[in-house]
Amino acid sequence: MKRLDVDLGDRSYPIYIGRGLIRQPELWAGHIPGQQVCVVSNETIAPLYLESVLAGLSDKSVCRAILPDGESYKTLATLSGIYDALLEAGHGRGTTLLALGGGVVGDMCGFAAASYQRGVDFIQMPTTLLSMVDSSVGGKTGVNHPLGKNMIGAFHQPKCVVADLALLDTLPAREYAAGLAEVVKYGLISDAPFFEWLEDNLDALLAREEAALTEAVYRSCVNKAQVVAEDEREGGRRAILNLGHTFGHAIETAEGYGTWLHGEAVAAGMVLALNLSRRLGWIDSDIEARGRRLLERAELPVAPPDSMDVDQFLLLMGRDKKVVEGQLRLVLLQGLGEAVVSSEAPVEAIVATLREAGIKG
Ligand SMILES: NC(=O)c1ccc[n+]([C@@H]2O[C@H](COP(=O)([O-])OP(=O)(O)OC[C@H]3O[C@@H](n4cnc5c(N)ncnc54)[C@H](O)[C@@H]3O)[C@@H](O)[C@H]2O)c1
Ligand SMILES: O=C(O)C(=O)C[C@@H](O)[C@H](O)[C@H](O)COP(=O)(O)O
Ligand SMILES: [Zn+2]
């Protein structure tokens, strides 16, 4: 088992990474101070793993909220189901929520914890690769709005993160690949040696070999924890974790939540960001090609959907949360592992990048 800590003063917490961890309550149950626990999961994951988690909570008073599965249910309406379960079971401010699921469950459970009775504790038990390397760490929680991704939410840090790699044995290949997009992101934004390691070890990672998987989850979490510790509430540098997301969120919103997986949209978005960075003369074409190639090898889409046009992209990108006083700010690269947040890209360059990727208009 590997452990690393997210260093946030009195809100610091450990991330545990290893196989079989959900069956080791001695590791995580100590992070539950009270008697009441609410396990939040979904209808796909609960039949697989809920019993194992409940076995570790036999001395607690437990309620459960089992949500419908899918990005299209990451809504305020679904969130109400969590509050209903908590209130019907009589849970008070001492309760602890436990998110057993991917990023959708984790984001919603975290937001329920941030808001229920003005804030209670929660634990992240991520079950997808994407949630182990990204969404369970850092405290961004929330839900989507029909007009934009993650538009309603709060920063609320978990008390611990339990990344049990054995859970990935049942994860479908398409979902696994989506998680690899966020893994590649860390190499591109802040860790060139990790990017090179990924180039050398992607086949082992695609085969889900234990050693490669452990290393990829650990290095991803180290990178994310470092950025979050520097800038917890995205006043500045944390926005580099959004590489490809301004384009990607536009794709997810335009296509209907869940049509493109988040990681798929981010992969296509990162290729656009690489192209734009090269167009501005900030990276050479070799870095652009290597980024694109690694994402292709990871079985991810590297072009946006041709159902979108330039105007739709610009409209949706204009709603991005990084926009300041109408000014688009994009995460771009100035080298491998060197991301910056910049408003310097002229709209003409953005349009040229979209057109080169096959977008009409
Ligand atoms: N908060 C953050 O910092 C952050 C970071 C990245 C992404 N996100 C959000 O995370 C979401 C995407 O998360 P995701 O990729 O985990 O998708 P997801 O939560 O939708 O899970 C993917 C699918 O796999 C299933 N599944 C999960 N674990 C499984 C397992 N072990 N075995 C079999 N099936 C399993 C789920 O039921 C679901 O159908 C998006 O909403 C995105 O916006 C948030
Ligand atoms: O943790 C962060 O910060 C991120 O930006 C991580 C992203 O991968 C993630 O998709 C996040 O949910 C995006 O947040 P948003 O604020 O751009 O909606
Ligand atoms: Zn993301």
As a three-state string, the secondary structure of the chain is CEEEEECCHHHCEEEEEECCHHHCHHHHHHHCCCCEEEEEEECCCHHHHHHHHHHCCCCCEEEEEEECCCHHHCCHHHHHHHHHHHHHCCCCCCCEEEEEECHHHHHHHHHHHHHHHHCCEEEEEECCHHHHHHHCCCCEEEEEECCEEEEEEEECCCCCEEEEHHHHHHCCHHHHHHHHHHHHHHHHHHCHHHHHHHHHHHHHHHCCCHHHHHHHHHHHHHHHHHHHHHCCCCCCHHHHHHCCHHHHHHHHHHHCECCECHHHHHHHHHHHHHHHHHHCCCCCHHHHHHHHHHHHHCCCCCCCCCCCEHHHHHHHHCCCCCCECCECCEEEEEECCEEEEECCCCHHHHHHHHHHCCCEC
Contacts of 342 (CB under 8 A, 6+ apart): 329, 330, 331, 332
74 is in an annotated binding site: yes
Residue of 128, 183, 223, 241 to mutate, ligand 2, most atoms within 8 A of C-beta: 241
60 is catalytic: no
pLDDT tens column, 252-264: 999 999 999 999 9
Please give the pLDDT value at position 73.
Answer: 98
Q: Say what the ipTM of the complex is.
A: 0.99
Asked, colleague to colleague, whether 2-170 and 173-356 share their fold, the answer is no
Q: Which fold has domain 173-356?
A: Dehydroquinate synthase-like, alpha domain (1.20.1090)
Question: Does 31 carry a binding-site annotation?
Answer: no
Is the CB–ligand 2 distance for residue 238 below 6 Å?
Answer: yes
Q: Name the token pair of 150.
A: 């993650």
- Is residue 23 in contact with ligand 2, taking CB distance under 6 Å? no
The residue whose CA is least distant from atom 3 of ligand 2 is 241
pLDDT at 152: 98
The verdict on pTM exceeding 0.90 is: yes
The pLDDT, as a whole number, for residue 257 is 98
Q: What is the pLDDT of residues 293-350, one digit of tens each?
A: 999 999 999 999 999 999 999 999 999 999 999 999 999 999 999 999 999 999 999 9
Indicate the CATH number for domain 2-170.
Answer: 3.40.50.1970
Average pLDDT of the residues in 57-82 = 98
What are the extents of the domains in the chain? 2-170, 173-356
Vertex 143: Cα angle to 137 and 144 (nearest 5): 125
What six digits make up the tokens of 176?
A: 């696994």
Of 181, 197, 208, 195, residue with least CA distance to 301: 181
26 annotated as belonging to a binding site for a ligand: no
